Structure 1
């Protein structure tokens, strides 16, 4: 049982029109009413009033206060949300006053953690809250909203019920073997197929939420930084005629067709001449391995033959020399020639992510979810092999029970403090 009351600023720190301070817990109303000239506020009603300091009539700010009564609140507890003017000095002062009167500063994600512990949402829906905040595209928001509305949880519960029925049938045959003559061989292939289909949604979902990574690769001085600047329409990366200017990866964001594209300018890949350049080359190779789209840039004035893995090959400096390479785009970062065609080529590949996701309502949005479903599939495959090999059914029963436990852990029917720490440590304080 939660016995303390927490408080936090729930809006980003910085100057703004409004800033919200949120409280949740058994004493939330009591603590707030020490500073609002209200006698008996009603839940789910908005009050425009003054927020008073310790001394009567000493006003900190004029505010809008909204009261929620347990269990009809986000956390399932008594809650208050107070909108102040968005001056950090006012907000920090208000939190200090409220903590002096008995509230405790909230930890990261503690409001949503309390919502989970009070049965307002399961663990999958709680994780979706964070993804809604972090999503960088319209598609990422759609995916996260579906998860928060229970699409994934419903699918998990459906598969869980199937496995519970199989487990029950096995147990009754173990307890009363003389009652059953026929051999029991349930078919787990459809469940395994559904779980594997769910696994395939993870990478595209992460891409939609976090952005499509596009790595600009190539030898030194081919114009990767100039192409980055041309795509952005601004001078983001330093450009000089000296080879090896870029020593580290440089990232910049671009939005194309509702998707966030993370452009990564890398150090030129060659035999490094010093330790710093060596580190830059290694980071370039790492960026290439993690990128969703690889753009290999070559110099039109050179005889280089593209030999790096690439989704798009770009011949830069085409304003100096016209060099034809099969399936390559000729561009000039200096004049802008071909830059729009390059942007469209990147967009076409990036949109492929959206096309994969549009037909899937239930998707995996967190690494924890992916790992648990992967473990579940492994157990089900072992159970299926045991059935097909004619092994005693109690062997398969062990695998099926483990698979059910992984699904229970996924939605939070089973959890430990360590699991909750992993999930909620990524949240901002006010959520």
Structure 2
């Protein structure tokens, strides 16, 4: 049942000058509150685009635009809702906002329109989360994934698992309720079959979490090494353009540079760092410290050495900083020759010439393999860290249950109890049950006006 809550308002377009700026209002009695400041030709009808004049407190025209009224429940939020398209001057939008705030319409919280859509059953939780993913998508693949989730692909998958457990629970509870009557029951083998199907499906979903997090958030990838090993040349080669200054002078890069790179649909924040070495130069030492900080905050590191020369103490000092982290060894400058000692020390190093472009495809392939990126297009849905945590909890109930049933029968009462608990986590995933803390955590990352 749709609930009409207190009216809320927000500017739904980004701040700044633009052709159009939108104001969105939703909640109880919004049409009556808006009519005071709106002039149209005739009655405002639901789902019609009305040319209108927006008036100030003195009845003077502030702006002209288009107004659409959505009557509950046929709106995004499920409530009565109005969208005003005005000229995108921040002064106009600010004045319009002030007018309606004076009428007792409250400023919306981040994501509150989508939160109301969820509470009114217009979206389930996974679809609501997909709205934020779609807005924040940095690559075309991330957009495609978010659209699939918004269209209910993940919901269908999870709901099919829920349905299997619910039907199984119904059989078990019937067995408890009518144990003395001659009605059909479900065998232990049939119970095991259903539980194993659910187990396999959950494991398949959980295997997508790394890909899902990469697509949603991207990764920080730092290029590190001592001075003059070709880090900036590698940075430029990966980007495919001259972004960093490249010279033969050691220590040219005094601070880090960062640029966004897209590889196979994964957004990568590529960081070119200052060469790490002991130095008395105050400015260079600050750059070295920032390089070390980049190593500590990076999800992956490209450790670069000059492969044409034997390793030096500075190389080993840098390697000791990265060896415990997720890293790839890059043997650069192979166009100048490959020192035999380096080939022995780092046999798994990727041989490249950033200057000439040799080996760059091999390096990208290794990077993608390290990230576990291959095959993303073949998947339809990818779970988030929140989803994976709930799936893991459900699996932690199902797996021991399978092991126990394989050895012996379990009383229907205990089986029913375990099945209900496994269902709780799947219910929470799609929002069939929620807490206010969970809702706040999810919708707080939305922008205001969505």
TM-score by length of 2: 0.82
Paired residue for 1:323? 338
Determine if the alignment matches structure 1 residue 410 to structure 2 residue 425.
no
Q: Structure 2 vs 1, CA of residues 236 and 278 (structure 1 numbering), >3 Å: closer, same or farther?
A: closer
SS in 2 for 1:50: strand
Paired residue for 1:129? 131
Contact 2:224 2:291 in 1 (8 A): no
SS in 2 for 1:92: helix
Paired residue for 1:10? 12
Once the 2 structures are TM-superposed, how far is the Cα of residue 171 of structure 1 from its aligned partner?
Answer: 2.5
**For 1:169-198, what per-residue CA distance to the aligned partner results, in whole angstroms no more than 9, with x for missing partners?**
222333444558996351122210110000
Determine if the alignment matches structure 1 residue 337 to structure 2 residue 356.
yes
Paired residue for 1:65? 67
Distance 2:114 2:265 in 1: 28
Determine if the alignment matches structure 1 residue 114 to structure 2 residue 133.
no
Across the aligned residues of Structure 1 and Structure 2, the Cα RMSD in angstroms comes to 3.2
Contact 2:251 2:274 in 1 (8 A): no
Paired residue for 2:216? 209
Aligned residues: 418
Contact 1:315 1:330 in 2 (8 A): yes
SS in 1 for 2:198: helix
Distance 1:210 1:238 in 2: 30
Paired residue for 1:252? 259
For structure 1, the residue ranges without an aligned partner over 5 or more in a row are none
For structure 2, the residue ranges without an aligned partner over 5 or more in a row are none
Distance 2:435 2:126 in 1: 15
TM-score by length of 1: 0.86
Distance 1:251 1:140 in 2: 21
Paired residue for 1:387? 405
Paired residue for 2:272? 265
Once the 2 structures are TM-superposed, how far is the Cα of residue 258 of structure 1 from its aligned partner?
Answer: 5.0
Q: Structure 2 vs 1, CA of residues 397 and 237 (structure 1 numbering), >3 Å: closer, same or farther?
A: farther
Q: Structure 2 vs 1, CA of residues 102 and 229 (structure 1 numbering), >3 Å: closer, same or farther?
A: same
**For 1:111-139, what per-residue CA distance to the aligned partner results, in whole angstroms no more than 9, with x for missing partners?**
00000111101111100001000111111
Structure 1 segment 282-431 matched on structure 2, within 5 A: 282-287=293-298, 290-291=299-300, 294-300=301-307, 302-304=309-311, 308=323, 310-311=327-328, 313-316=330-333, 321-323=336-338, 325=343, 328-332=350-354, 336-338=355-357, 342=360, 345-346=363-364, 349-350=367-368, 355-364=374-383, 366-390=384-408, 392-393=410-411, 394-431=413-450
Q: Structure 2 vs 1, CA of residues 2 and 250 (structure 1 numbering), >3 Å: closer, same or farther?
A: farther
SS in 2 for 1:261: strand
Contact 1:386 1:395 in 2 (8 A): no
Contact 1:238 1:246 in 2 (8 A): no
Once the 2 structures are TM-superposed, how far is the Cα of residue 422 of structure 1 from its aligned partner?
Answer: 0.9
SS in 1 for 2:375: helix
Structure 1 segment 112-191 matched on structure 2, within 5 A: 112-178=114-180, 184-185=188-189, 186-187=191-192, 188-191=195-198
Distance 1:410 1:118 in 2: 17
Once the 2 structures are TM-superposed, how far is the Cα of residue 379 of structure 1 from its aligned partner?
Answer: 1.0
Q: Structure 2 vs 1, CA of residues 235 and 276 (structure 1 numbering), >3 Å: closer, same or farther?
A: closer
Once the 2 structures are TM-superposed, how far is the Cα of residue 353 of structure 1 from its aligned partner?
Answer: 6.0
Q: Structure 2 vs 1, CA of residues 40 and 189 (structure 1 numbering), >3 Å: closer, same or farther?
A: same
SS in 2 for 1:358: helix
Once the 2 structures are TM-superposed, how far is the Cα of residue 313 of structure 1 from its aligned partner?
Answer: 1.8
